[in-house]
Structure 1
Amino acid sequence: MLHGQSNAWAIDYDNVYNDNNLPEDAHWVRTIGAMHVYNRPAMYPEAENTNWYVASGKAPDIRGGIQLVGNGMVGVLGLNIGLNLVASQNVPIAIINGAGGGGAIASYQKNDSGLNAAYGRLQHRLEASGLKLHIKAFIWNQGEGNAGDAVSDYKNALYQLYKNLSSDYTFEKFYLVQTPPGCSASSGHQTVREAQRQFAAEHLAVKIITRHGFPENPLFDGNYFLSDACHYHAHGYEMLAEWISNMAKYDFYNGTVDYQAPQLVRVIRESGKSLSIEFDKPIAVQPDLKVDGIVYSVKDQLFAINSKKIISISELKVDSKNNKILRITFKGKRLTKGAVITYVLGDTYPDTKEPYRGPWLVDADTGVGAVGFIKTID
């Protein structure tokens, strides 16, 4: 079950997911009904449709308002999750994509509008599918539309959505995809990331994964973002689908590697100019990355103290004796207890409109990016 806004909708912008390009076992990925844009009243007959289809990697292409609804569609992300699991597990997979192509989290909350609202349309399809009590994982991929929200506001909204979903359906896991930089938000998405991090830490059934750490795109000069600085070429959706399906293999099919993102354990001040950050998994620091001729490094781009980006880190390295710990040393900076550190501040490279796409802190084994956070230093 996949839900959220445009990067869950996952349009086939590169026009590569045509029927004649799909592997032979693609017919084992199925869906029910139609994807439907979030902010329009029900469009008939598609909104009522409960026919089963072989899933399509297309999604309604809402640019210019041309196509707002589409039978049998699950998008590039949804189809690739299904394809990966069919290929590795030899089981049929149902993917139902209720994403709506835009909107804040409020647009996806339960209300009494029935088929005229995103929640009601999804509920109609799941009720008809016979799967409402047999969902393996509910995947929530949203947050771009809530840039600048207070941490408590987004977390409370996420709790309300989760509460209603838990009441209406039975699912074993709730996969929460942390919102990355991008989508040209002037205020950045760091508060949304922190709300998502806290929510995952507070609920046992919730697992968090990021969109941080994707390898460079071999087809588009390394860039997995489209020129709109928000959405992805197929490569980005394919990578996220690979990570999510690998997480599902671990949770449901006896996989041996957990693809959940490294999560923050604690931040400790060790001296006036050094601190340590502990994660729950071994981590690695990606090498410097050149973007438009400029070299960027983790130590100069990704950390902030009291909401001011740090450019005075003299050393940043993984501890040689415990690879779950990152040690940071500052150039003469005096750290005080009670200061607040942010990992991933803002959405773009400095003095540009280019969305930040690396380098990152990542899982040393899987390459999945560590969760973004805002944390008081102990």
Structure 2
Amino acid sequence: MLTITPATATADTPDTACADQVRETSGFTPVLGLDLPSESDWLNQPVPYDFDRTAEVAGGFDRVGYCLELDGPEGPKWVWTSMEAFTDDATRLGLPTMSGQIVRQRVDDLDVRTNVPGVNVGGGQTGYLEMWPNQYSAGASTQVANASSQVYDADDNITGNTQGYGSFQVHQIGATRPSELHPKTVLAVNTFTSADDAALSVGIGTNTAGEPDWTFANNANSFTQRRLTVYARPAPATVTEGPRDRQLYPRDAQGGASVPVSGTVLDPRVRTLRLEVTSGRSTRTHTARVRDGQFSFSPRITAGLHSYKLSLWTVGAVERRVAHWTDIVSGDVYVVQGQSNAQAARYVGNAAGEESPWLRSFGSSTPDPVISGADRAWHHATGDVSYQSGSIGQWAIRTGRRIVDTYKVPVALVNGAHGGQPIAFFQRDDADPDRITTNYGRLRQRLAAAGIADRVRGVFFYQGESDSDNAAVHVGGYSSLLADWRADLGAAIPGGSQYLTYQVRTSPCNNGTAIALRDAQRRLGDTHDVTVLSTNGLSGHDGCHYAYAGGYRELGDHAFAVLARDQYRGPSAGVAPPNPRDAAFTDQARTEITVQLRSTDPLTVDPGAEADFRIDGSTATVSAVEYQAGGRLVLTLSEPAPDATGVTYLGHLRAGPWITNATGVGMLAFTGITVG
């Protein structure tokens, strides 16, 4: 007969059904226990646990376990689930009732045992945790494959600045995105911070008669027993520095990265540790002797489409895996910043097909400082939603996917954009650069926590609509922002980070004639040593934002072409946006003006493009435009223009005729090009 050794119990920590039924619990310490009341409002209050032994594992633990026991009309039910430690703070393992106690992330090596049918039992699964005191909605971050944005399940949306409901949920999910597996709830305790006198909502397995994660079930009174017990497994060694799951390490000049792993040994019997580094079918083993109670490793990984798994073991008298990290890669890092066209969420058409396991992001682009500060995890990059974990926008995910497919290197993109804001909103607080209530501080904190601030290869900036054609304010704000970026980012990049700024399509939105700010942006390439990108040539435009096809998709393609040229030694022909150098009359009658462009790339002039030109200081109009070899645009005028002082090109809203290069990039809007 199989003998089960239960977890250590005392008079204050009674046995549980999990300890009686599950062998794995024998190595765990029960650290928190609670007979759940029928209702509670513990918002910003300590939970009145029946016992609290968290101090006993404060030195370190490597796994966390939960046992939920319910006894109701269908008889006793129980579930045990354990997982890799998702925090090193034992006091954060229980119900989250305080502001900022937010856990919303994947966990690996999930083990589940239960007497409830429909729950997948066994080890080695992937889990997802949703633990917070806040209210929340059914909207999905898209981090969980096959989760719904219409019902409450394994991927719900925390409501920022609104607390007072509470979620404590463990789910089973597919390990990959996409996945054939649909998420299932393992256990749920909800409604514990509600002030509405509502009964707790509790359950084991997926609810088939309401919201799948038991939200709004309010069913606590149907059970005579409702007990939650929290466990932790004491660790023989703890890690003080190591990777995070799905982390991207910026590649260095040697074509890879070092991955530091170090820590402290707690069990004096441990004299040696082993680190296994696995990629595909190949495993490299490193060993380190304990010196003064410390250990350290620094294995190398290679940049490219190689995913690494690291496993740390104590060896000898205590043989145990004490840490495990999955899907570690080395690649390149870019930042996206600006207004809503930098957010580039879904307006018309989705970019889900651009997602890739080799595209990553860190933290959340949410403007809520509490939620932002709580998200310190690496995520799969997604393009269609905004203000969520891993959100990078549609054109950014297209750019990243093109880099992955073409140059076979993983890419991390971190998006800090916030829609509808003037350039003053994005400035650094020089007295407190990391202040999380500022947009700059939130992005700066994310990059620092990810360990990538000094390795940012490029920063994209799409902003200016909300500056309402005030060129002086915009250029002044951009100058200040650029100086701060250059001080804070890219210190380890030879020559520093590349800065790429878009000439906006309109400023303000739906105004196609205001030109002062747009022309000032065009000139930034000359005055600020940045790369200027065009938004002309895109017909999927609604007057302010873009559809995916004919808009954000092509913006991503154009951004990729520039990075390919400047960062990956790719082709340069047809990449730079057409940009005027000067203009002159080319006939004595002054009915023809030739605009000399800076590039000699061939251009396509659509019929009707002449309508977007203006002859400054004259009543003459442009009746025809022709491209001639050598980078010349020949403008035929409707009448002689002896008093002409300059040439202006406005572009236009929405679809219509364009002047584009071979990549499809439209000519930059301009004004004040003097006619010689």
Calculate the TM-score normalised by the size of structure 1: 0.80
Contact 2:467 2:473 in 1 (8 A): no
Kindly state the Cα deviation for residue 304 of structure 1 after the two structures are TM-superposed.
Answer: 1.4
1:220-244 deviation per Cα after TM superposition (whole angstroms, max 9, x unaligned): xxx5134xx3111112111100110
What is the correspondence of 1:269-288 to structure 2 with a 5 Å cutoff? 269-270=585-586, 271=588, 272-281=590-599, 282-288=601-607
Supply the distance in 1 between the matched residues of 2:456 and 2:605 (Cα, whole angstroms). Answer: 35
Aligned to 1:36: 366
Contact 1:285 1:298 in 2 (8 A): no
What is the correspondence of 1:1-378 to structure 2 with a 5 Å cutoff? 1-14=335-348, 16-18=350-352, 21=353, 26-37=356-367, 42-60=368-386, 69-111=387-429, 112=431, 114-149=435-470, 151-170=471-490, 171-181=496-506, 184-186=509-511, 188-204=513-529, 206-214=530-538, 224-226=540-542, 229-235=543-549, 236-258=551-573, 259-270=575-586, 271=588, 272-281=590-599, 282-288=601-607, 297-299=608-610, 301-306=611-616, 312-319=621-628, 322-336=629-643, 339-344=645-650, 347=652, 355-363=653-661, 365-375=662-672, 376-378=674-676
Over the aligned positions, Cα root-mean-square deviation in angstroms equals: 2.3
Supply the distance in 2 between the matched residues of 1:374 and 1:132 (Cα, whole angstroms). Answer: 37
Kindly state the Cα deviation for residue 311 of structure 1 after the two structures are TM-superposed.
Answer: 6.8
Aligned to 2:319: none
Whichever residue aligns with residue 303 of structure 1, its letter is: F
Whichever residue aligns with residue 52 of structure 1, its letter is: W
Whichever residue aligns with residue 211 of structure 1, its letter is: T
Contact 1:263 1:280 in 2 (8 A): yes
Most deviating of 100-109 and 46-55? 46-55
Aligned to 2:274: none
Kindly state the Cα deviation for residue 48 of structure 1 after the two structures are TM-superposed.
Answer: 4.2
Aligned to 2:150: none
Aligned to 2:30: none
Supply the distance in 1 between the matched residues of 2:354 and 2:552 (Cα, whole angstroms). Answer: 16
Q: Give the number of the structure with larger relative contact order, counting CA–CA contacts within 8 Å between residues 6 or more apart.
A: 1
Contact 1:148 1:187 in 2 (8 A): no
Supply the distance in 1 between the matched residues of 2:532 and 2:620 (Cα, whole angstroms). Answer: 29
Task: Summarize the Cα distance change of 1:90–1:307 in structure 2 as closer, same or farther, 3 Å threshold.
Answer: farther
Supply the distance in 2 between the matched residues of 1:312 and 1:96 (Cα, whole angstroms). Answer: 45
Kindly state the Cα deviation for residue 95 of structure 1 after the two structures are TM-superposed.
Answer: 0.3
Kindly state the Cα deviation for residue 109 of structure 1 after the two structures are TM-superposed.
Answer: 1.4
Whichever residue aligns with residue 46 of structure 1, its letter is: S
Supply the distance in 1 between the matched residues of 2:541 and 2:598 (Cα, whole angstroms). Answer: 29
Question: Which residues of structure 1 form unaligned runs of 5+?
Answer: 61-68, 215-222, 289-296, 348-354
Contact 2:620 2:639 in 1 (8 A): no
Contact 2:562 2:576 in 1 (8 A): yes
1:287-313 deviation per Cα after TM superposition (whole angstroms, max 9, x unaligned): 23xxxxxxxx111x21113388x7732
Whichever residue aligns with residue 403 of structure 2, its letter is: L
Supply the distance in 2 between the matched residues of 1:175 and 1:10 (Cα, whole angstroms). Answer: 16
1:32-51 deviation per Cα after TM superposition (whole angstroms, max 9, x unaligned): 111124xxxx4313344221
Contact 2:606 2:659 in 1 (8 A): no
Contact 1:148 1:192 in 2 (8 A): yes
Supply the distance in 2 between the matched residues of 1:186 and 1:240 (Cα, whole angstroms). Answer: 20
Task: Summarize the Cα distance change of 1:341–1:356 in structure 2 as closer, same or farther, 3 Å threshold.
Answer: farther
Aligned to 1:293: none
Q: Secondary structure at the match of 1:125?
A: helix
Q: Report which of the two has the higher share of strand.
A: 2
1:203-259 deviation per Cα after TM superposition (whole angstroms, max 9, x unaligned): 33x111111113xxxxxxxx5134xx3111112111100110121111111201352
Contact 1:179 1:189 in 2 (8 A): no
1:42-93 deviation per Cα after TM superposition (whole angstroms, max 9, x unaligned): 4313344221111111332xxxxxxxx3111112122111111111111010
Contact 1:307 1:342 in 2 (8 A): no
Contact 2:486 2:497 in 1 (8 A): no
Supply the distance in 2 between the matched residues of 1:99 and 1:331 (Cα, whole angstroms). Answer: 45
Whichever residue aligns with residue 609 of structure 2, its letter is: V
* Number of aligned residues: 328
Contact 2:605 2:627 in 1 (8 A): no
Identity %: 23
Question: Which residues of structure 2 form unaligned runs of 5+?
Answer: 1-334, 491-495
Whichever residue aligns with residue 379 of structure 2, its letter is: Y
Supply the distance in 2 between the matched residues of 1:142 and 1:103 (Cα, whole angstroms). Answer: 8
Supply the distance in 2 between the matched residues of 1:193 and 1:52 (Cα, whole angstroms). Answer: 36
Q: Report which of the two has the higher share of helix.
A: 1
Contact 2:336 2:414 in 1 (8 A): yes
Supply the distance in 1 between the matched residues of 2:478 and 2:602 (Cα, whole angstroms). Answer: 28
Contact 1:178 1:211 in 2 (8 A): yes
Whichever residue aligns with residue 266 of structure 1, its letter is: D
Contact 1:147 1:185 in 2 (8 A): no
Aligned to 2:301: none
Q: Secondary structure at the match of 1:95?
A: strand
Task: Summarize the Cα distance change of 1:179–1:315 in structure 2 as closer, same or farther, 3 Å threshold.
Answer: same
Aligned to 2:37: none
Kindly state the Cα deviation for residue 22 of structure 1 after the two structures are TM-superposed.
Answer: 5.2
Q: Secondary structure at the match of 1:70?
A: coil
Whichever residue aligns with residue 336 of structure 1, its letter is: D
Supply the distance in 2 between the matched residues of 1:323 and 1:359 (Cα, whole angstroms). Answer: 22
Calculate the TM-score normalised by the size of structure 2: 0.46
Whichever residue aligns with residue 134 of structure 1, its letter is: R
Kindly state the Cα deviation for residue 127 of structure 1 after the two structures are TM-superposed.
Answer: 1.2
